[in-house]
């Protein structure tokens, strides 16, 4: 019975939203803006919390629309109760979520804040109110709906994850109805204007742009719904916990990309029709949208990382040693020799099994490091991919120059011609500031006429939006026009402070390059095979030796023949062992760190056998005048020799880190 009631409540939500699909043929629109917040319960996902925040906004929108209806009914002398106003409002409501919702963490749970635009048709309110007042059956039905809605609102906070999922499906259907309704509205509005003979060029252009935007959004939504279904099916079918974690991460990234795409679909063309006020409003909106997206991307990266770490931790916990069967005690007929051999074999097998487990766990750790490195690359790549259109839009808005009738006038003075350079000096002034520029010319006769009529020159200031606590236009250029000749020149005066988001975006790109290098190193470590160990040194099959104490990686052998210091330096820097490109010449201290008085390599030098030093004295990077540092692996002493020496000297490349 409880489940049945809950399904009924969910259906009521669907009906509530679907009612908004009844939209008039031609409407005067009143716009309200609401912002709501929803904090998820312990079993609700981030996406589900966002859906509930939208539903909460829709319910509040009903009340706000009702307040507006109330102000109209007072003028018309109708007498409606507050509940009746709210019920009537539900039939004329249209809502639209703006941009990406903001995400925050409060009391160890995530909360989403949603901005919603509410559109109310005011042109048909009076007929609807009159019909509502006359129809008692409608009032009774509205009373029942209002009671159901109140109950729903009280219980919405306690909806379980499965209930919210069903709610999302119903809400998707309602949105589809609303999109279809919007297409019909645009068509009927155009037909009504044509019938009245009032379809001006500007009005036709507005309707065409609105229809184009509506169709663009509808296509995007249809594609996104298909992609969501495919992702959900792939996630359901995947059984491997690590691959499932990766699919979940990809699904979250894709959801953010989809949200960003819907925002982009609502952008208008930046052309001469865009006013400064509209541009400032959009820049503020873009900055907030970028901040919201950045917050969501950062949060998602943290969740993805935790998701991967949890999956690998579980996998390591499930990795156990394949131990041989436990040995039975020695019986009276088993010889001591046979028993000892049996126990020895068992202990050897246990040790081998533990070693296999250790190797498996170590491989999982290396794989985890790789996946985490790849996750960071994916995060930075997604960040760049998602934010790039918004940064480009910000840049385009900042590049746009505006004229300001109030305070845009400038004075311009054309000075005596500079005949040697074929130019006129130009002095420009505005609000106590002045700039000196030059007006170049080619034809002397035209220049003479131009100079004689210089008093006709007009200067108009051009303004751009710049970064500031409160966005303001800044005079950055001037357009000088000669009305008679129609000749126009534009002079650059100042450079606006670029938006901070554009600066940050450049840093993201640099950080991505660093992360890609780290990912390559993680791939390398996963595929490397150890071919030898000697205390703190580990040799790999790519010709490198890692010193686990200093974390320095050495070439497994020197250049093998006498070499002077300059050539040794070049040899080290151009070495490409292991596929690395950051090899260098070691310092004298680093070479001394390899010396081991208790060991000898195959050539008799006191160094680990894993590093082949073919003669006593590799060069070091330090120089002193014409001398350079070396280290002697026979005596363990430091020396300074002329850089031209080559007989006993070698090049031994080194690099920092794994």
pLDDT tens digits, residue range 353-375? 888 888 888 888 888 888 888 88
Closest C-alpha to 423, from 405, 408, 442: 442
Rounded distance, CA 653 to CA 553, Å?
9
Using alpha carbons, list the distances in angstroms from residue 584 to 462, 569, 656. 53, 7, 9
Pairing status of strand 627-631 against strand 617-624: antiparallel
Check residue 19 and give its pLDDT: 39
Rounded distance, CA 125 to CA 185, Å?
17
Check residue 255 and give its pLDDT: 79
Rounded distance, CA 98 to CA 5, Å?
32
530-656: CATH, from 2.60.40, 1.10.3470, 3.10.100, 1.20.120: 3.10.100
Rounded distance, CA 558 to CA 651, Å?
6
Q: Are 459 and 446 in contact (CB under 8 A)?
A: no
Burial 102-132 (b: 16+ CB within 10 A, else e): bbeeeeeebbbebbbebbbbbeebeebbeeb
Check residue 355 and give its pLDDT: 85
Using alpha carbons, list the distances in angstroms from residue 45 to 39, 60, 164, 415, 520. 10, 23, 9, 70, 33
Q: For tokens 């794994």, what's the residue?
A: 658
Please give the model's pTM, rounded to 2 decimal places.
0.60
What confidence tens digit (pLDDT) does each residue in 76-95 have?
Answer: 555 566 556 655 665 555 66
Residues 6+ positions from 611 with CB-CB distance below 8 Å? 537, 545, 554, 555, 556, 557, 594, 601, 652
Rounded distance, CA 419 to CA 268, Å?
48
Query: Edge-to-edge, what's the strand order for the sheet holding 627-631?
Result: 638-642, 627-631, 617-624, 649-650
The whole-number mean pLDDT for each consecutive block of 10 residues of the chain, a chain of 658 residues, reads 43 42 45 76 66 71 66 58 59 64 74 75 60 62 60 56 55 58 62 61 67 78 82 83 78 78 76 84 90 86 86 87 88 90 92 87 86 88 88 93 80 93 94 92 90 90 92 92 86 93 90 85 80 90 91 94 95 92 94 90 87 93 95 93 92 86
> How far, rounded to the nearest angstrom, does the alpha carbon of residue 608 sit from its chain's CA centroid?
48
Task: List the domain boundaries for the chain.
Answer: 2-199, 229-399+500-527, 402-496, 530-656
Closest C-alpha to 522, from 657, 329, 322: 657
Pairing status of strand 409-414 against strand 423-430: antiparallel
Check residue 409 and give its pLDDT: 79
Handedness of CA 298, 302, 303, 304 (dihedral sign): positive
What's the half-sphere exposure (Cβ side, CA atoms, 13 Å) at 26? 10
Rounded distance, CA 592 to CA 632, Å?
9
Rounded distance, CA 398 to CA 406, Å?
20
Strand residue runs (E) in 300-450: 402-403, 409-414, 423-430, 433-440
Q: Are 604 and 593 in contact (CB under 8 A)?
A: no
Q: Are 48 and 164 in contact (CB under 8 A)?
A: yes
Task: Indicate the burial class of 146 (C-beta count within 10 angstroms; 0-12, 13-18, 19 or more).
Answer: middle
Residues 6+ positions from 14 with CB-CB distance below 8 Å? 170, 171, 173, 174
Six-digit token string for 267: 């952008």
Pairing status of strand 617-624 against strand 649-650: parallel
Q: What angle do CA 11, 14, 17 make, to 5 degrees?
A: 150
Rounded distance, CA 613 to CA 618, Å?
8
Check residue 16 and give its pLDDT: 43
What's the half-sphere exposure (Cβ side, CA atoms, 13 Å) at 488? 5
End-to-end alpha-carbon separation of the chain, Å?
62
> How far, rounded to the nearest angstrom, does the alpha carbon of residue 347 sit from its chain's CA centroid?
54
Q: How many CB atoms lie within 10 A of CB 597?
A: 7
């Amino acid at each position: 019975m409880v489940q049945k009631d809950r399904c009924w409540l969910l259906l009521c939500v669907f009906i509530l939203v679907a009612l908004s699909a009844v939209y008039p043929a031609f409407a005067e629109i009143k716009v309200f803006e609401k912002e709501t917040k929803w904090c998820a319960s312990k079993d609700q996902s981030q996406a589900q919390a966002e859906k509930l925040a939208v539903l909460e906004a829709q319910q509040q929108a009903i009340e706000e629309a009702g307040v507006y209806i109330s102000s109209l009914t007072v003028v018309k002398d109708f007498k409606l109760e507050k509940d009746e106003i709210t019920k009537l409002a539900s039939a004329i409501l249209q809502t639209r979520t703006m941009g990406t919702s903001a995400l925050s963490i409060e009391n160890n749970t995530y909360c989403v804040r949603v901005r919603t635009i509410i559109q109310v048709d005011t042109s048909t309110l009076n007929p609807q109110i009159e019909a509502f007042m006359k129809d008692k059956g409608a009032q009774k039905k509205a009373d029942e709906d209002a009671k159901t809605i109140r109950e729903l609102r009280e219980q919405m906070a306690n909806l379980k994850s499965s209930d919210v999922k069903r709610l999302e499906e119903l809400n998707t259907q309602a949105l589809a109805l609303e999109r279809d309704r919007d297409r019909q509205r645009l068509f009927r509005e155009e037909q009504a204007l044509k019938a009245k003979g009032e379809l001006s060029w500007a009005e036709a252009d507005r309707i065409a742009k609105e229809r184009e935007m509506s169709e663009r959004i509808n296509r995007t939504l249809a594609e996104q719904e298909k992609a969501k279904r495919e992702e959900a099916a792939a996630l359901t079918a995947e059984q491997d916990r690590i691959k499932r974690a990766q699919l979940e991460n990809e699904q979250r990234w894709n959801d953010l990309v989809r949200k960003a795409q819907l925002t982009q679909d609502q952008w208008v063309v930046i052309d001469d029709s865009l006013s400064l006020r509209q541009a400032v409003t959009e820049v503020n909106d873009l900055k907030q949208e970028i901040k919201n997206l950045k917050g969501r991307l950062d949060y998602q990266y943290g969740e993805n990382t935790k998701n991967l770490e949890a999956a690998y931790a579980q996998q390591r916990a499930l990795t156990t040693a394949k131990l041989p069967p436990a040995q039975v005690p020695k019986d009276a007929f088993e010889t001591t020799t046979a028993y000892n051999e049996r126990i020895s074999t068992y202990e050897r097998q246990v040790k081998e099994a533990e070693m296999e487990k250790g190797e498996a766990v170590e491989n999982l750790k290396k794989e985890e490091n790789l996946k985490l490195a790849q996750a960071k690359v994916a995060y930075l790549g997604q960040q760049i991919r998602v934010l790039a259109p918004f940064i480009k839009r910000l840049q385009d808005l900042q590049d746009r120059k505006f004229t300001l009738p109030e305070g845009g006038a400038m004075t311009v003075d054309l000075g005596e011609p500079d005949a040697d350079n074929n130019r006129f000096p130009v002095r420009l002034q505005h609000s106590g500031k002045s700039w000196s520029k030059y007006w170049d010319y080619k034809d002397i006769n035209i220049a003479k006429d131009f100079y004689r009529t210089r008093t006709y020159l007009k200067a108009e200031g051009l303004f751009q939006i710049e970064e500031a606590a409160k966005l303001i236009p800044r005079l950055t250029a001037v357009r000088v026009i000669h009305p008679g000749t129609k000749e126009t020149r534009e002079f650059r005066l100042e450079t606006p402070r670029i938006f901070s988001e554009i600066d940050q975006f450049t840093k993201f790109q640099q950080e991505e390059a660093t992360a890609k290098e780290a990912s390559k190193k993680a791939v390398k470590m996963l595929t490397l095979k150890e071919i030898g160990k000697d205390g703190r040194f580990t040799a790999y099959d790519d010709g490198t030796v890692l010193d686990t104490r200093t974390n320095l990686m050495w070439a497994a052998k020197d250049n093998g023949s006498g070499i002077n210091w300059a050539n040794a330096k070049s040899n080290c820097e151009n070495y490409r062992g292991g596929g690395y490109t950051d090899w260098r010449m070691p310092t004298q201290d680093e070479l001394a760190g390899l010396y081991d008085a208790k060991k000898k390599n195959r050539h008799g030098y006191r160094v680990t056998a894993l590093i082949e030093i073919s003669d006593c004295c590799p060069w070091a990077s330090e120089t002193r005048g014409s001398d350079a540092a070396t280290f002697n692996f026979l005596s363990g002493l430091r020396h300074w020799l002329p850089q031209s020496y080559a007989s006993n000297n070698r090049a031994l490349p080194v690099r920092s880190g794994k």
